[in-house]
Amino acid sequence: MINEDIKKYIRDVKDFPKKGIVFKDISPILMNPEIMKYITNELSKYVGDADIIVGPDARGFLFGIPLSMKTNKPFVMVRKPGKLPGEVISYDYELEYGMNKMEMLKDSIKPGQKVVVVDDLLATGGTAEAIVKLVESAGGIVTKSLFIIELEFLNGKKILNTDIVSLVKY
């Protein structure tokens, strides 16, 4: 298998979540354990000497947790406000269709720890940039950002100051 074969398991859904958007649905990937294993193995090649894997709710969890297990690295959740117990740090950011906020448990990343961010999709880069800023505010160092899909025409990687790996590009 090659990375381009992953595209066979990505479904386009037109006008979701709003008119004019073509949503890249990863449900067919999740329904195929062999593709999930392949993706996890591919992503694991880029973790290197990172201390921690970080992923956003919800689709970042789907790929970040298997990657965490494969590489024997802790997984840190980044979630929407009010979803994590205890003291959190937060970051406000802009999406292509509105504003959002992300939170992470305050003590989940120690200063100087190397972090790999994992999410399903890189579009405009707003979510990924917010995660990087959140990690940096905790003193972590983002060494790589890993994505299953990159929408190159939206130029999301231009705003990220990390190495970026995308398995498939549109």
**98-105 vs 114-122, strand pairing mode:** unpaired
Residue 38 parent element (H or E) = helix 33-44
Instruction: Please provide the DSSP assignment of 138-155 as one string.
Output: TT-EEEEEEEEEE-GGG-
By the 8 A CB rule, do 27 and 8 touch?
no
Instruction: Report the C-alpha gap between 127 and 142 in whole angstroms.
Output: 14
Supply the residues annotated as catalytic. 59, 96
By the 8 A CB rule, do 47 and 71 touch?
yes
